[in-house]
Homo-oligomer: A and B are copies of this chain.
Amino acid sequence: MQRNPVQLFDAESSTYTYILSMPGEKAAVIIDPVDHNLERDLAHLQRLGLELAYVLETHAHADHVTSAGRLHEMTGARTAVPSGCGIPPAELQLNDGDSVRFGANEEIRVIHTPGHTGGSMCYLWRGNVFTGDTLLIDGCGRTDFQSGSAEALYDSVTQRLFTLPDDTLVWPAHDYKGQSVSTIGWEKRHNARLANRTRAEFVEIMANLHLPKPKLIDVAVPANRNLGLPHSA
């Protein structure tokens, strides 16, 4: 049975954080938590009667700092990160095809989707895919820093994500227009950057975005490579 996650929004960085759990079970997983929402996120776990088993990161973020290290210290949850993102203190270094198991019978499948960053991962759970900054609703993440590659992102989305079932729910790491969720089927047919585009067309679109450097990148990336902790983890 498909099961929607709880979706939490950070208005400062327009980041979505997700809590995954099953009715009647205590074990939970959180994906991409943000440092200044630590108390809010802990309150949600408490209100829902959950115990955190894992903290997952989709990549080393450039626009906000994770609370993964603090959540690990405060709850005992294990930290799990993409192996290619340079986050040495994490307990689990995830590779393509790995599974993260929690609760009685829950399995999160790990899909390596390079493009936004070289190490970026997506996570698949019960008909939901958590796409990080790889695939956004009617958009995608930028590809111009942190080993980003438009070619790689095109291949990741078209070969790894668009081959999932059409009714798979797409839960992105960001949205800037109040949008919450999409489906693989819709994005495959309508995504403004990726649907009905050749690889060369997509690469040209991405080469001409001329985006400013993220304000927080020089602080956020080193911090996220230490799980957001000020001290050695």
Interface residues of A (CB under 8 A from B): 1-11, 23-24, 37, 40, 43-44, 46-49, 127, 137, 167, 169, 177-183, 185-186
Contact = CB atoms under 8 A, between A and B. Distances in A.
A10 B178 contact: yes
B10 A7 contact: no
30 contacts: A1-B1, A3-B3, A4-B4, A4-B6, A6-B180, A6-B181, A8-B179, A8-B180, A9-B9, A11-B11, A11-B178, A23-B127, A24-B167, A40-B177, A40-B179, A43-B179, A44-B179, A44-B180, A44-B181, A47-B137, A47-B181, A47-B183, A47-B186, A48-B169, A48-B181, A48-B182, A48-B183, A48-B186, A49-B167, A49-B185
Contacts of A40: 177-179
Nearest to A170: B47
Given A6-B180, A9-B9, A43-B179, 17 more contacts: A1-B23, A2-B23, A4-B6, A7-B180, A9-B180, A11-B11, A23-B127, A24-B167, A44-B181, A46-B186, A47-B137, A47-B182, A47-B183, A47-B186, A48-B169, A48-B182, A49-B186
